[in-house]
Structure 1
Amino acid sequence: MNFHPVRLGIISALREEQTGLIEIMQDVVTTTRGMRDYVSGRLWGIECVCVLSRIGKVAAAATTATLIEKFGVSHILFTGVAGAADSRLRVGDIVVARQLVQHDMNAEPLFPRYEIPLTGLSHFYSDQILSKQLLNAAEEFIRTDFHSAIADYDKQRFRLLQPLVYEGLIASGDEFIAHDEQLRKITDRLQDVLAVEMEGAAVAQVCFEFGIPFAIVRTISDSANEDSPVDFVQFLEKIAAHYAYSIVKRFIALHQSERALT
């Protein structure tokens, strides 16, 4: 069987979310475009381009389009953190997106609420094969790597017991959700939403329009309310960075063994 060459675009919103990946990349070439550094090279045998999108839907969409048009990526993976929108989720849990919606999109009465004008869609589905790989990678990380990857002090500090992995709906919007009232406005209408963040659905829309398979994984950093951890930067550095590194490594290893990114 013939397999198409893979060039994986890896996007994160913040520097801490890609800690370690660029440092071990081989044959590195850095290109600055649109105020972003696109770092090309090889990660565990795969051609990759790593980039920080910055925060928000416009930033994420611009970065995604550039990865596709200027750097010729064939698949896109987004890693980052999110707030929990479902009461079952705890800090340290992982959510792999099955589908994504822009919770602040409302072009009524011209189009139904949440529908992206001229697409006929409100929810964008991630690639099933990539998402299954990502789900397996996250589950294997929790089962095998979690206890050694995260220091005991940090487990206690952020009250991480035995994290769980979920798959489902993620909602994105240009608003940091930090209060119960904000969250209720979203979950009252989108009752199946698991997590809220600020980039994923924009990445999903661009990938849909360009026909690029994508997958998105989020580490739960807070409860999207007043009880959120105070030291967000420390969570990024001590927890989320280790999650992202290990999950990406296992995700790529699945390609190497199963040749599933085709």
Structure 2
Amino acid sequence: MKIGIIVAMQSELDCVRRLLENPREERHGASLFIVGTCGAHELILTQSGIGKVSSAIRAYELIDRYRPNALLNTGVAGGIDPSMRVMDIVVGSEIVYHDVWCGEGNVWGQIQGLPPRFHSDPALVEKALQVETSLRIYKGLMCSGDRFITDPVELAEIKQLFPEGMAVDMESGSIAQVCHMRGVPFLSFRIISDTPGIEGHIAQYNHFWDDAPQRSFEVLTSLIAKL
């Protein structure tokens, strides 16, 4: 199976690239792809950068050049549901833009002409939920947009629009949209780095990086082994 993996940040890339056996770097213009194997799978790993535009461009490039059988997006997210704790895993069975409004005739988060929400591939979702880990794993709605959520007022606005929202991030929506348009099975799963809206959540985020990358790496390793 040929699997594309997109992360946003250098710290995530450094962790995930340890999955690859016999890695080689392939550069196309300004874009770097790291190609290798993991068991019976061929993996194509890339760091998109933060935000919708950067992640959409890199997802399109990866699909166009490598034709993966599936595309995984992993990394960190902010927990926005009271049940969420730092180090929980959210499997994004649905993904919606929290910062898109195209006017009458569309629901909030819907780009006109596209579905109101994008759906991760059901088979990939089930595989992710079967991963054996000491971390808590949840399935639910990821809310994606070009804002790093820090203000309790912003959080309340998102929860009012999407009461079932579990987490917020800045890349899942755009990658899901590209995969939807290109017909590529997609999965977003992320580890909770902080819980916006509570006092001291920036400290949560800073302390998170001490241990979380390794734990997230273990979950990704287990997931790929199940594919």
* Deviation of 1:32 (Å): 1.9
Distance 1:18 1:136, change over 3 A: farther
State the partner residue of 1:53. 48
Q: Do 1:26 and 1:43's aligned partners in 2 also have CA atoms closer than 8 Å? A: yes
CA contact (8 A) 2:92 2:142 kept: yes
* Contact preservation (8 Å) 1:99, 1:124: yes
Question: For residue 230 of structure 1, what is the aligned residue in structure 2?
Answer: 203
The reply to whether residue 213 of structure 1 matches residue 205 of structure 2 is: no
Report the equivalent of 1:141: 133
Q: Distance in 2 between matches of 1:107 and 1:64?
A: 23
Note the C-alpha offset of 1:15.
1.7
Q: Which runs of 5+ in 2 are unaligned?
A: none
How many residue pairs were aligned?
226
The one-character-per-residue Cα deviations of 1:2-46 (angstroms, maximum 9, x if unpaired) are: xxxx21001111122233432452232212235231001112331
Shift, 1:254, TM fit: 1.1
TM-score normalised per structure 2? 0.93
Q: Which moved more, 1:108-117 or 1:213-222?
A: 108-117
Q: 2:160 aligns with which of 188, 213, 222?
A: 188
State the one-letter code of the partner of 1:141. T
**Deviation of the 1:233 alpha carbon:** 5.0
Name which of 57, 74, 83 aligns with 2:78. 83
For 2:93 and 2:118, locate their aligned partners in 1 and report how far apart those are by CA, in whole Å.
Answer: 9
Residues 1:97 and 1:203: Cα distance change in structure 2 (over 3 Å): same
Q: TM-score, normalised by structure 1?
A: 0.81
What is the aligned-residue RMSD (CA, Å)?
1.7
Q: In structure 2, what is the Cα distance between the partners aligned to 1:251 and 1:231?
A: 26
Larger Rg: 1
1-side partners of 2:92 and 2:221: how far apart? 18
Contact kept in structure 2, 1:81 and 1:240, CA below 8 Å: no
**Which string of whole-angstrom CA distances, capped at 9 and with x for unpartnered residues, describes residues 116-170 of structure 1?**
1222x11111001111111212xx122xxxxxxxxxxxxxxxxxxxx42110000
Aligned to 1:160: none
2:215 is aligned with 1:243: yes
Structure 1 alignment gaps of length 5 or more: 1-5, 143-162, 256-262
Partner of 2:126: 132
Of the candidates 127, 142, 157, which is equivalent to residue 170 of structure 1? Answer: 142
- How far is the alpha carbon of 1:53 from its aligned partner? 1.1
| 1:17–1:240 CA contact under 8 A, matched in 2 | no
Task: Name the amino acid aligned to 2:201.
Answer: S
Identity of aligned residues (%): 31
Higher RCO structure (Cα 8 Å, ≥6 apart): 1
What corresponds to 1:154 in structure 2? none
